[in-house]
Structure 1
């Protein structure tokens, strides 16, 4: 069910499409992103299925493989110095950056339901995405809505809202990600925000019997020794249904409870607190 632009104020606080990029600039950014990086880093393993890789362009050390974001006055990494078009593009925007990365999400890969920035200082900040390579099966899910971030535009995400990302079929999804502190320039940059009818699809609500059936299926997998497959099966429900926050983690914990495996159940309840920022 598409989400109408005129009735989407709540979702617009979480994600929005901003102004369009010049096609020539986009092509130069895409070319450098595809040819310059050499050492992609798999980070935040607890947050992903595998297949999500990043490399830094602006960070606190200048080393591109330092990818755990934190508050800082960033410097250019050695990688950005080999990417003159991207370097010029970032300088031209006039934004106050906290961190800038390239992020690659492979086929059949997921960033699980989570909330970002919880470990950082209480400063207002937003995340800008510049999709460089994407496909129709790659999406952000937030607020029970699937949003395909089309290439050719800036997109703004407020990642303090619970969200996840998926790339179901491939090819790789490649984004330039700009974490920025709020200031007047960013406010002006956001003046064109919108979320069109064609950008977002509302996921269906899951009835209790449906969730019970999924839990039975996962329990069967786990009882046969396929615990990781059972966990991923339940985690992927976040991309299929509109669910209460943290529901997929509760389902996994309940699955292990039903198998009398209290340690694994406790681990997933702890995971829920970490991933959703509930333990702060």
Structure 2
């Protein structure tokens, strides 16, 4: 019989997995480039609807060559002016043999969150995956998916299937830096994913939220909102995603209900629309 950790690992492989290790000396040089060359650039805050603030990116491969062009789309990418200054990163990307759609550096600051969402809904119906290469992280920085909190340890290439609902947090800092590689399916990607694995030690199963807990949080948020602290009330509920296993989109329903209780139907409808956008339920999908 599988241990609980092994069972959790097996169940999670459809959503996230390790593909390959990276040599420690190469990792150190990748990290140095990100912290020196990239940090000399003006990082771009994008996808504001998806985050608390504190998440910013720079592009290394895209269709324009500009590092500040960070909203991903289907394309045959070219090197940006930033990647041309980062030879170690450039060589690593070239060595992987992957068909890239877009490659970014992503920075997640202290006490920052990417809210519950799924990705790729606005793109064409091509098979693709997102790979993460953690460059700098900490034990309070995690990805949450499938009711599990996963620490993406450095020195590995990780695969995330971002069409599953997920989010990310960096509670205590320092800043988390990841390389994000959006790749089209090809033989090399299939080869990398053929022997993927996941260590149970990297996974924490979140407790299932009870209805009593949810109602307790709702009442506390409602009290904050009635005192005028509406943004704090929203954040209080949104952060539940990183603490409890919840039905998909339940948090957004709670926030909409909060505004209904306040008599603000405009804000309630806004959050219902946010739910549709963030969870990829809106009718905005492209076609191949």
Asked whether the two chains share a fold, i.e. TM above 0.5, the reply is yes
Which residue of 1 is the match for residue 54 of structure 2?
Answer: 51
Per the normalisation by structure 2, the TM-score is: 0.95
Determine helix, strand or coil for the equivalent of 1:195: coil
CA contact (8 A) 1:257 1:265 kept: yes
The equivalent residue for 2:286 is none
Aligned pairs for 1:242-261 within 5 A: 242-261=245-264
Write out aligned runs for 1:121-132 (5 A).
121-132=124-135
**Distance in 1 between residues matched to 2:66 and 2:175, nearest whole Å:** 24
Counterpart contact for 1:5–1:194, Cα < 8 Å: no
How far apart are residue 4 of structure 1 and its match?
Answer: 2.0
- Does the aligned pair in 2 maintain the 1:3–1:201 contact within 8 Å? no
Which among 257, 263, 267 is matched to residue 264 of structure 1?
267
The separation in 2 between residues aligned to 1:76 and 1:14, in whole angstroms, is: 29
Q: In the aligned structure 1, how far is the partner of 2:89 from the partner of 2:237?
A: 39
What residue number does 1:193 align with? 196
Supply the distance in 1 between the matched residues of 2:94 and 2:53 (Cα, whole angstroms): 32
1:8 CA drift (Å): 3.7
- Superposed displacement of residue 3, structure 1: 5.3
Task: Give the C-alpha shift of residue 189 in structure 1.
Answer: 1.1
Q: Is the 8 A contact 2:20 2:156 kept in 1?
A: yes
CA contact (8 A) 1:3 1:202 kept: no
The gaps in structure 2 that reach 5 residues or longer are 284-288
Alpha-carbon distance between aligned partners in 2 of 1:75 and 1:242, rounded to the nearest angstrom: 40
Aligned to 2:24: 23
SS of match in other structure, 1:102: strand
Q: Where do 5+ consecutive residues of structure 1 fail to align?
A: none
Query: Is 2:23 the counterpart of 1:10?
Result: no
Deviation of 1:260 (Å) = 1.2
- Equivalent-residue separation in structure 2 for 1:36 and 1:192 (angstroms): 34
Within 5 Å, which residues of 2 pair with 1:51-130?
51-130=54-133
Residues 211-222 of structure 1 correspond to what in structure 2 (within 5 A)? 211-222=214-225
Q: Deviations over 1:62-115 (max 9, x none)?
A: 000000000000000000000011111110110000000000000000000000
